[in-house]
Structure 1
Amino acid sequence: MPLLGAVDPLPVRPRRVLIAGTSGSGKTTLAARVAALLEIQHVEIDGLFHGPSWTKRPSFEDDVHRFSAGPCWVTEWQYRTVRTHLADRADLLVWLDLPRTSVMRQIVRRTVVRRLRRQQLWNGNIEPPLWTMFTDREHIVRWAWNTHSRAAARVEELLVRRPDLPVVRLHSHAAADRWLRGPLQRARGSRPGHR
């Protein structure tokens, strides 16, 4: 199946949706908007992964398998240990393929605001001090810069493995808005499974 764009109709009403993209691209925001429009559950996968002190929760994989066994959900496509499983369960993948400059602007702003406000994230975690951007190789800002191209490689591999899976590629938030108001809104009106 060829990649779909912001105005291409969806073949079916989606029920199990993955949002792909690099860290900081806006996956969680888009996932929440898709879930609200389709009136289905959004599972924020970071909330399942991160335990206290940014440690991986021991039940992460079990939690992912549990929610993904359900008929309807939206989540972000990340974390190596569950990525293949989620892709096998999904009936739509939406790829936020933003330019690196856009992603970096977003993630730096988000990280600074979260840190200055000491915003609590998952399980009581807060962003580390800003200076760790320069000392921690796995700091989220450096991670987003260094892994930006990996999303494209993962999507390409998925297209080979799951050629039946519809993949929508969006190059901007404006394109995401058009897609939500257009093809997704129209697909929402169709019966599940109706072509």
Structure 2
Amino acid sequence: MQRISVVGTSGSGKTTLARQISQRLAIPHIELDYLHWEPNWVEVPNDVMRDRVSQSLAGDRWVVDGNYSIVRDIVWPRADTVVWLDYSWLVVMRRILWRTLSRVVTQQEVCNGNYETWQKSFLSRDSILLWAIQTYGKNRQKYQALLQESDCTHLNFIRLTSPAVTKDWLLSL
């Protein structure tokens, strides 16, 4: 495992796991949210995102986390491994609720000077909680289908179905 893509629904723990993999394997960690979001939650244009990702993945060793379909055709052909955090709905919802509450209360930066707020997190159509609820089932179907495609046969695919399984797998690296 030299080039690893960590995927999963919002709140599943992609970034946390990618950081842990990065530390254990001593390889760079690339967080797609940092390449996608500018200050004030401004999304970069798709061509800028694609350029940023291409440049970030120029090295021979990395772990990248994120679900951005606009760059999957850049990430997955270069990757040798995809790690899918396929946790239960209850685990994901509990994690994202706790993470969001914690970020709002502590004013922890998410990325590039962006912060979650009560308004944005709990009362907005742009709520990460709402996004997670709406995309959970779609993401599970999407990754199951994607990994059956012929252009993914070069990938070592690792499906982790619980935090305990993930912990054991990480310790085995």
TM over 0.5: yes
Does residue 31 of structure 1 match 2:31? no
Equivalent position of 1:137 in the other structure: 125
Equivalent position of 2:51 in the other structure: 62
Aligned partner letter, 2:142: R
Query: Residues 150, 69 of structure 1: CA spacing in aligned structure 2 closer, same or farther, 3 A cutoff?
Result: farther
**TM-score normalised by length of structure 2:** 0.91
Deviation at 1:105, TM superposition (A): 0.6
Q: Deviations over 1:111-133 (max 9, x none)?
A: 1111111122212111022x444
| Identity score, percent | 38
User: Greater RCO between the two (CA within 8 Å, min separation 6)?
Assistant: 1
Map 1:19-98 → 2, pairs under 5 A: 19-58=6-45, 59-98=48-87
For residue 167 of structure 2, the aligned residue among 171, 174, 177 is 177
Larger radius of gyration: 1
Secondary structure in structure 1 of the residue aligned to 2:148:
helix
Structure 1 stretch 31-40 or stretch 153-162: which is displaced more? 153-162
Which structure 2 residue ranges, 5 or more long, are not aligned?
Answer: none
Secondary structure in structure 2 of the residue aligned to 1:168:
strand
Which structure 1 residue ranges, 5 or more long, are not aligned?
Answer: 1-13, 186-195
Secondary structure in structure 2 of the residue aligned to 1:18:
strand
Secondary structure in structure 2 of the residue aligned to 1:148:
helix
